[in-house]
Chain A
C-alpha cells in the first residue's frame, strides 16, 4: 500500500480542517457514536438498571418485541399520528406560504406570528394547549359553546372531551402539533415560492391559464424539492412523536395515544428495563433510517429528471 504524500502546506490545511471539526467530532463520538453502539450492546441483554447481573440474552428482546401487542399498538398509533399531521400539516404550511407570497401589507408581522410557535418547546406548547383542551374550563369548548348558541343549534352543547376520549385524543394531539410546527415548513415553502421566476407566471397568464392552472402546472412542480424535503422531514419528525402524549395524555385513554418513543421511554425510565427499551429504540432507528433512505431516493430521483 502506497501512501499519498501531501505537500507540507496541504498537510497543514488538513490539520486546520480537522481542528475545526474536532469539537463536534469529539462530542459526536462521545454522545452519539458510543451510545449508539453501547445501546445495541444493551439491547442484547436483560438489563435492569438495578440488576447486579445483566445476563446476555441475544436477540430475545427483539423476538419479544414481535409478540408484544402494545408495541404493535404503539406503531399503529405513531402511523396514525403521522397520517394526521404530515399531509394536513404541509397543506396548512403551504397555504400560509401562498398567502404570504401574495406580498400583503405587514408580511413580516404575519411571518413572525406564524413562526412563533416553532420556537416554543413541546412542554410549553403542551401546557398552553392543556388549557385550550380542558373539557370543562377549556377555551376551545367555550368558543364552541358560544358558536353553538350564536347559530341557535338545537339542543344543549355537549363539551368535546378533547384529550379524554380515545376517539378524539390523537386528533387533538395532531391538531396541536400542526399549530406548533406549521411555521417551520411555511418558511421553506415561502423561500421555494420566491425562487420561482415571475416570467413563468407571466407567460402562463398570456396563454390564458387560470389561477388554479398556474398553481397546478407551475407552482407545484417547481416547488417539488421543498415539498419533498418538508414532507419527508415531517414524516421523520412525526414518527418520533413523544412530548405531546407524554405531557398531555400519558399514552391514554386506553392506549390511544401510546406512541413508540413514549413506549420506549416508559419501558426504560419507568420500568428500568433498559435492554428492552434499547431494542425498541433500535427498531425505531431502523424504521427512521428507512424513511431517511426513502428521502434520499426521492430527492435524487428529482435530480435525474
Chain B
C-alpha cells in the first residue's frame, strides 16, 4: 500500500518514527496518564497565552503551499501589526496533535480542518460557530463564495468552517505523448479527452509496447490515489458512499458497482492502465511513462519541478452521465473555548486569508470566491484555471461524522477490486456490510 497505492498526501503518516510494538502500548499508557494529568490543567491553558495580540495558527502546509502561506502571514503582520505564530505540522500527525490539544488544552486560536472532517469535529462540539461573526461583519461577501463549498463548512445549520480553498482533481496529461500519438486538434495542439469514448480511445493509442516484450512500457492512464479516483468515478455514475440521509451504506448499489467495474475494465479488459500493484503511477507520469492521470491540483508543484515534462491540466472527462469530481477543501476554524476578547482578532485574520486566497492559489490551490476566479491573474495560472472549471460540481466525502471511520473500509474494497482480489460487487458488498455496522453503532 505504501509503495504505489498510498498517496503522497498521506505519506507523513507512514514515515513517523514508530518504535517497537511495545512502545505503542506505552503510547496508549502515556495517553492515559496524559488524559488524567491534562484534564486538571486544561482550563488554565488559554490564559497563559492571552498576552498581547498574538494569533496562534496551526496547519499542515509542509510543501510549497507552506511557503506561500508564510508570505501571506508575513504580509498580514506588516499590514496590521498583529503577530501570528504559525505552526506547520505534517498532515500525517496533524490531526493527532490537534485532537489532543482540543481535548486537553493548548489548542491554537485558528486552525485548518479539511472539509471531510468538519462533521466529525463539529459533532463533538469543538468549533466555535462563525455565524454571529459573519453577520456582524458588514460587507462580508457570503454570496461571493461558491455555494457548494460554502455548504461544506456547515454542520447542522451552523457555519463552523470558513472555506479557504478547494483542491479538486483534474486530468493531468502529457502533451508530448499526445502529439506523438496524433491526438491533436485542428491546430495541432494536444487535445485532452472530454468523454468516456474519447478517453478510452486516447488511452488505447497512448498505451504502447515499445520493446515488443508483450508488456506495455507506456501506459495511456494510471490510477494514482485509488480512494479519490474512485469517488470521482462513482459520483459520475450517480453513485455515492452513503445514502443522502447518511444512515445507509450505498456503495454496493448498481451505480457504484458499475463505476468500479469501469475502473477495473481499464486494467483488465482494455489493458490501458497498469495493475496498481507495485507501480508508482505518479512517478510514472512524471517520467513520461504514463500519459494521463487523475490527480489533485496540489500535485502541481511536483510536476513543475520535473525537468522536460510537457504537461497540462484539463477537467476530468465525463465517464458517465453525471458531472462530478472529487475535491478537498481547507477550512479555517476556531476552537470552541477561544476567549471572547480574542475572537474579533482571529476573525480579522481569517477574513484576511480568505480575501487573499488568490495569493494562496499560487501554492497550488484554488480560490473559492467567484470574484477572485474571474480575475485575469487567476486565468494565467494555467492548470489551476482548468481545474477550477470543475468547482461547481466538486464532490467531497460524505458529511457524516463517521466519515473518517468508514474510509478504511471502502479503501480496502477498491484496492481489492482493482487488484483483482475480489469482484467489484463482492468487494463493495463486504465494505457496505462493515460500513453499515459502523453507521448502526450508537
Contact = CB atoms under 8 A, between A and B. Distances in A.
A136 interface: yes
Name the residue in A50, A123, A251, A278 with the highest tally of chain B Cβ atoms < 10 Å from its Cβ. Answer: A50
Interface string B7-33: 000000111111111101111111111
A70 B419 CA distance: 20
B33 A31 contact: yes
B28 A127 contact: no
A237 to B, nearest CB: 8
A39 B412 contact: no
Given A50-B126, A161-B277, A164-B1, A243 B19 contact: yes
B277 A164 contact: yes
Nearest to B441: A64
B2 A249 contact: yes
Given A243-B18, A250-B6, A156 B214 contact: yes
A247 interface: yes
B305 interface: no
B121 A123 contact: no
Contacts of B421: 166, 253-254
Interface stretch (B42-50, B74-82, B98-106): B98-106
B44 to A, nearest CB: 19
Main secondary structure of the interface of B (DSSP, over half): helix
Contacts of B24: 240, 242, 261, 264-265
A250 B14 contact: yes
Nearest to A52: B125
A162 B15 CA distance: 19
A283 interface: no
A17 interface: no
Contacts of A52: 124-125
Contact of A39 (B4, B29, B102, B213): B29
Contact of B5 (A48, A246, A252): A252
B85 to A, nearest CB: 24
B245 to A, nearest CB: 22
Contact of A247 (B14, B278, B419): B14
Interface string B253-297: 000000000000000000000000111100000000000000000
Interface in A232-257: 237, 240-243, 246-255
Contacts of B25: 240, 261, 281
B124 A48 contact: yes
A272 B99 contact: yes
B3 interface: yes
A34 to B, nearest CB: 6
A42 interface: yes
Contacts of A261: 21, 24-25
B386 interface: no
B19 A38 contact: no
A32 interface: yes
A136 B2 contact: no
Contacts of B30: 31, 35
Given A130-B3, A243-B19, A247-B15, A254 B99 contact: no
A209 interface: no
Find the residue from A49, A70, A165, A274 having the highest chain B CB count within 10 A. Answer: A49
Contacts of B359: none
A32 B30 CA distance: 9
B404 interface: yes
A49 B107 CA distance: 14
A38 B124 contact: no
B96 interface: yes
Contacts of B404: 270-271
A37 to B, nearest CB: 9
Contacts of A272: 99
A122 interface: yes
Contacts of A30: 33
A295 interface: no
Interface in A157-183: 159, 161-166
Contacts of B4: 135, 164
A66 to B, nearest CB: 13
B382 interface: no
A136 B247 CA distance: 42
A19 to B, nearest CB: 24
Nearest to B13: A250
Interface string A1-44: 00000000000000000000000000000111011101100100
B215 interface: yes
- Ranked nearest first, the 9 interchain pairs of A and B with the lowest CB-CB distance are A135-B278, A35-B29, A50-B124, A252-B1, A242-B21, A240-B21, A161-B278, A35-B32, A123-B17
Given A52-B125, A253-B419, A278-B28, 17 more contacts: A50-B103, A122-B18, A122-B21, A123-B16, A123-B17, A134-B278, A156-B213, A159-B278, A164-B277, A237-B21, A252-B5, A252-B411, A252-B412, A253-B415, A253-B416, A264-B24, A271-B405
Interface of B: 1-6, 13-22, 24-33, 36, 96, 99-100, 102-103, 121, 124-126, 213-215, 277-280, 404-405, 408, 411-412, 415-416, 419, 421-422, 434, 441
24 contacts: A31-B29, A39-B29, A49-B100, A70-B434, A122-B18, A123-B15, A133-B3, A159-B278, A161-B278, A163-B2, A166-B421, A240-B21, A240-B24, A240-B25, A241-B21, A249-B1, A249-B2, A250-B2, A250-B14, A251-B1, A253-B5, A254-B412, A266-B408, A272-B99
